Structure 1
Amino acid sequence: MSMIRNIGAATARAATTLILVLVAAFFITRVAYRDPANMLAPRNATQESVDAVSRALRLDEPWYVQLGNYLYRGPDIQGAPMGLAQWPPGLGYSFRRQTPVTELILSKVPVTVSLALGALVIWTSLSIVFGVAAARRPGTAADRGISTAAYIALSLPTFLTGMLLSYFLFFKLSTYGLYWFPSSGYVPFADNPFEWARHLLLPWLTLAIAEIGLFQRVVRGSMLETLGADYIRTARAKGVSENAVYYRHALKSALNPVITLGGLELAVIMGGAIVTETIFGLDGVGRLTINSALEGDFPVVIGTTIFAAAVFVLCNLVVDIVTELRDPAAR
């Protein structure tokens, strides 16, 4: 019953967070875009034309009235989807692209999902390997070397890591006729899995290098704490091999903080890895958000904000459920 109650509380928190994010996004965009009709009207448009745009898009109404329209009707132009609180739910209509926001986001999601999940696999795997290796030899040269490399990786800005990888693994190799790593672009997985991975390898490494620096420290600290537990000493007294002690017993218990932090980091990247997408020419959710914000297309800004918040609360909800299921007391 305790586990069910905790999961129910996490679900309620997720729903409340989404509602608050929606209200905040609507309010902030109305503050940020004081005169959106002027931005959306043609260049050198007369004041009458600007007022007509404002009336047509209902931009002259108070923000809370527009929020009600967003929830229960949606912008009434060119067959836009229904409101977010209706079925089928919609995220409004792009003023600039004349396309439903939901369709725009869904067209960018495969790129962002591919980027986030691939990087997650790389940094999680390497962090566990390096973290366990450091925990097995605390205070030694190996431990200090791994920790130093982790600090350097963590301190490097993402844009600098991406530029260095692009320079050495694309530009320098290409001068010798070695085109192993494309510098930009995206190939759908369904079209060619090999080219999909080849085009994403540098972006994956860009994200993974910074995350390894953080996660390796978390794995090491959690392992050292777990290795002092009574059941670990009992396992060693029974003659269990050191590899089994570290990987079968200690690591299993030490993974909870890694799972929690991994869910948070995955949610952040899923909301749009803006710098990495820009460096490597990936047309994902992050670039869509930035371009829409610069163009004054605030329905897309609101839609991508809600999408990022939904991914964040969903990842946190999954992490809470997994953590509860891994808790022996809850089971």
Structure 2
Amino acid sequence: MLRFLIRRIAFGVLVMWVVATAVFVLYFVAPHNVAQTLAGRQATAQTIDLIAHRLGLDRPILSQYGSYLWRLLHGDLGYSYVNNEPVSTIIKQDLPITASVAIGGAVLWLLIGVVSGVFAATHPRTPADRAVTGFALLFYSMPTFLLGELCLLFLFYRLHLAGVHFFPGSGYVPLTENAGQWFVHLILPWVTIALVTAATYSRLTRGAMLDVLGEDYIRTARSKGIAERRVVYRHALRSALTPVVTQFGIDLGTLLGGIIVTETVFGLPGLGQQIYNSISREDLPVIIGLVLLASAFIVAANIVVDLLYAVLDPRVPLS
């Protein structure tokens, strides 16, 4: 296990180095005037000269590349000259919001998707199975922004007209400030993300469970008189979760990199909103920092997923 973990971490470090190198080439080598590009459209000549001096853009490319990697290793993601603050500070401010939305939505979609998928697989070709499949197809086909707007229309606007002021339409309250308001402000974003994403997990779980329930060891367990609930949830579901875990690692890593549509619809000032604003204002230092952060999340999620394979299914070799 330890050797496998070391290999996977080493491979993850290699991937991050490739991504960081690609970012350096794209933003520090390819542009004609790197300082102007990093400074943004509103930068003055004095600001451009300051950036060129601070980043050592007058030095050879290899020297610039070495300094760039050294800054990354020390957590220095650059400086936003549009916001006049370090990129790391911006990310620290916005990351808790995106993490709250992503993790809460992930728990909800995983619960809905797995439970509905198991229910459909244990009742194959019945009206219940068709209903679960139909709802999964409906939400899978629905754009996130449309479902978010529908949630705002019926659960916020209509309820407010009726005198029910439970769901806020936008904004965010930090968990450390007021846990109750934090929860209430995130219910609609969680539901929006969960319903759209749970459809994939429902179909994945159903397909995997149908395959596993036909295996010889499941028939053997049933012939021994083991309770059906234990056969389904202890034996079958554990093996069927492998594709679910794979998809979960990818989705969660991507979500933590920024939920642009959901955060825009519900007015949440997280990484998704920051990505949108940075692209609109051509704030390249922030874009670079967020690209590297999203890559790190995806690499970390894949390492965790590989480790979970062996926990869920001992037949999967760690190699």
Q: What is the TM-score of this pair, normalised by structure 2?
A: 0.90
Pairing partner for 2:9 from 4, 8, 11: 11
Matched-pair contact (CA < 8 Å) for 1:271–1:308: yes
Matched, 1:277 2:250: no
Cα gap change, 1:65/1:165 in structure 2, threshold over 3 Å: closer, same or farther?
Answer: farther
Return the offset for 1:289: 2.1
Aligned partners of 1:251 and 1:43: how far apart in 2? 56
Aligned partners of 2:241 and 2:163: how far apart in 1? 43
Consecutive unaligned residues of structure 1, counting only runs of 5 or more, are 73-82
Cα gap change, 1:5/1:60 in structure 2, threshold over 3 Å: closer, same or farther?
Answer: closer
Partner of 2:242: 256
Return the offset for 1:93: 1.5
Cα gap change, 1:38/1:91 in structure 2, threshold over 3 Å: closer, same or farther?
Answer: closer
Deviant stretches of 4+, over 6 Å: none
Matched-pair contact (CA < 8 Å) for 1:27–1:63: no
Partner of 2:72: 84
Aligned partners of 2:133 and 2:174: how far apart in 1? 37
Return the offset for 1:8: 2.8
Give the secondary-structure state (helix, strand or coil) at the position aligned to 1:150.
helix
Return the offset for 1:259: 1.3
Pairing partner for 2:162 from 176, 184, 197: 176
Aligned partners of 2:48 and 2:79: how far apart in 1? 19
Instruction: Please report the RMSD computed on the Cα atoms of aligned residues, expressed in angstroms.
Output: 2.4
Pairing partner for 2:24 from 26, 51, 57: 26
Moved more, 285-294 or 253-262: 285-294
Cα gap change, 1:108/1:265 in structure 2, threshold over 3 Å: closer, same or farther?
Answer: same
Return the offset for 1:67: 3.4
Aligned partners of 1:287 and 1:146: how far apart in 2? 33
Matched-pair contact (CA < 8 Å) for 2:105–2:190: yes
Return the offset for 1:13: 1.8
Report the count of equivalent residues. 315
Identity across the alignment (%): 40
Partner of 1:314: 300
Matched-pair contact (CA < 8 Å) for 1:37–1:59: no
Give the secondary-structure state (helix, strand or coil) at the position aligned to 1:178.
coil
Q: What is the TM-score of this pair, normalised by structure 1?
A: 0.87
| CA deviation vs aligned residue, 1:278-300 (integer Å, no higher than 9, x gap) | 11111111221221222222111
Aligned partners of 1:261 and 1:90: how far apart in 2? 31
**What letter matches 2:229 in structure 1?**
N
Pairing partner for 1:266 from 252, 269, 274: 252
**What letter matches 2:14 in structure 1?**
T
Aligned partners of 1:179 and 1:12: how far apart in 2? 51
Aligned partners of 1:25 and 1:325: how far apart in 2? 35
Pairing partner for 2:125 from 139, 144, 163: 139
| Equivalent residues in 2 for 1:1-331, closer than 5 Å | 3-30=1-28, 37=35, 40=39, 49=46, 52=49, 55-56=52-53, 58=55, 61=58, 66-72=64-70, 83-86=71-74, 89-329=75-315, 330=317
Matched-pair contact (CA < 8 Å) for 1:127–1:215: yes
Cα gap change, 1:143/1:31 in structure 2, threshold over 3 Å: closer, same or farther?
Answer: farther
